[in-house]
Amino acid sequence: MELTLKELEAACQSCRNCPLGKTRTNLVFGVGVPDAKVMFVGEGPGAQEDAQGKPFVGQSGQLLDKYLAVIDLDRSKNIYIGNMVKCRPPQNRDPKPEETEACLPWLRKQVKCLRPKIIVCLGRIAAQRLISPDFRVTRQHGQFIEKGGILFMGTFHPAALLRNPAQKADALSDFQALRDKLEALGIK
């Protein structure tokens, strides 16, 4: 029997499969609609996400919401947003490869449940694990790659855009490419 997203989240609450489970304040499982055709995957929760139990709620989340709004996507209406690891890495460090691997089964279950047509990797950590180990965001952003019946695209993590605003134009073109792809696939 397959679990619903809510049932999966409830099951994940007790996960201690890696050390991040011991230091988190809240699990950050994901948000969005259960019939989302597009899923966004970041690397892991930051301080505000850990405090609120929701992904992308800080400054970078606000920036992400602005890009989403440009192409008529909204976490409350038509997408789902999650992370590679569901618990905050201390001091906002990158998740370690063994933590990402430990958490991957939860992401796989989310994908199985949602059955998205497109997965957008936000930043290097997600893109290198889900698309290709040698993925370079600065060179390969905005390209669609089919894997296992799902189209993957890597783009800049919004936190990186806050640090380097010169990349915002490229990020915007990636979101416009996403909109064009959704239209081509007849998804709205």
Q: What's the closest the beta carbon of residue 16 comes to ligand SF4, in angstroms?
A: 5
Among positions 70-99, residues that touch ligand SF4 (CB under 6 A) are 85-87, 99
Rounded CA separation 50/83 (Å): 12
Question: Is residue 20 within the footprint of ligand SF4 (CB under 6 A)?
Answer: yes
Question: In terms of CB distance, is 12 or 171 closer to ligand SF4?
Answer: 12
CA neighbor of 110 nearest in space, from 45, 22, 31:
31
- Taking CB atoms, the residue at the shortest distance from ligand SF4 is 21
Asked if 42 contacts 88 with a C-beta cutoff of 8 angstroms, the reply is: no
How many Å from the N-terminal Cα to the C-terminal Cα in the chain?
Answer: 30
| Gyration radius from the chain CA atoms | 15
103 binds ligand SF4 (CB under 6 A): yes
Q: Indicate whether 17 belongs to the interface with ligand SF4 (CB under 6 A).
A: yes
Contacts with ligand SF4 by CB under 6 A lie at 12, 15-18, 20-21, 85-87, 99, 102-103, 106
